Chains A and B, each alone.
Chain A
Amino acid sequence: DGGITQSPKYLFRKEGQNVTLSCEQNLNHDAMYWYRQDPGQGLRLIYYSQIVNDFQKGDIAEGYSVSREKKESFPLTVTSAQKNPTAFYLCASSTVRENTEAFFGQGTRLTVV
């Protein structure tokens, strides 16, 4: 079945550590996205990529980094510079055509301990 797989589902990070969240898709989509969701709030865009080896900052990119070495993969690193990383992280993908929706993974819940 085609879809987006995020791993792990739950992740715990100690203060000062970097952690990497995985996102893989087999939908052959060109565009991929990372969103952050906090309780009672909507989704905020962290980074997005429309093609391999290219990506752009979203609204809240500070303290995060990404890479897009393969079309299928768009990992997100939460660095120690991110002061409040505890959140639910969602990866999505889409075509770059007009009027098409984004498909989401199941999310990763990151908690700082």
Chain B
Amino acid sequence: GDSVTQMEGPVTLSEEAFLTINCTYTATGYPSLFWYVQYPGEGLQLLLKATKADDKGSNKGFEATYRKETTSFHLEKGSVQVSDSAVYFCALSGRGRGSARQLTFGSGTQLTVLP
């Protein structure tokens, strides 16, 4: 079945440091890939997505490139801020019974940015 493996946390960085959170996946066919962010006590918000190989998703200074050859979708940001402190989830879309989409999630990476 589909699976997502994410870099284990927690990750602690100083403000303005460079961020990389690794994500690799296993899936049949051609999944779409997503990064979601979760702030404390809240639901998940879509951060960025990529729907085909070599696509680059970007939002709020975060970027990730869909690498089919390495089955990876690593999240990067050049200069993190304290407000980026959250849990980040890598996910892929798959297929369940019928035509409904399902998301398979990684285990999440807790990021703390210190001032």
Contact = CB atoms under 8 A, between A and B. Distances in A.
B101 A31 contact: yes
B61 interface: no
Nearest to A50: B100
Interface string B30-48: 0010101000011111100
Contacts, number: 70
Interface in A1-23: 4, 6
- How many of chain A's residues touch chain B, expressed as a range? 20 to 34
- How many of chain B's residues touch chain A, expressed as a range? 20 to 34
A69 interface: no
Nearest to A101: B46
A33 B32 contact: no
Nearest to A31: B100
A112 interface: no
A90 B100 contact: no
A41 B100 contact: no
Interface stretch (B14-22, B78-86, B89-97): B89-97
Contact of B42 (A33, A98, A106): A106
Contacts of B103: 33, 43, 45, 92, 102
B99 interface: yes
A94 B46 CA distance: 12
Contacts of A74: none
B102 A48 contact: yes
A98 B89 contact: no
A73 B4 CA distance: 29
Most chain B Cβ neighbours within 10 Å, of A58, A98, A101, A103: A101
Interface of B: 4, 6, 32, 34, 36, 41-46, 49, 51, 89, 93, 96-103, 105-108
Given A42-B4, A102-B103, A105-B43, 4 more contacts: A4-B43, A56-B97, A96-B99, A107-B42
22 contacts: A6-B43, A41-B107, A42-B89, A42-B108, A43-B103, A45-B103, A48-B96, A48-B100, A49-B100, A50-B100, A56-B100, A94-B101, A96-B99, A98-B51, A99-B49, A101-B34, A101-B49, A104-B36, A104-B44, A104-B45, A105-B43, A106-B42
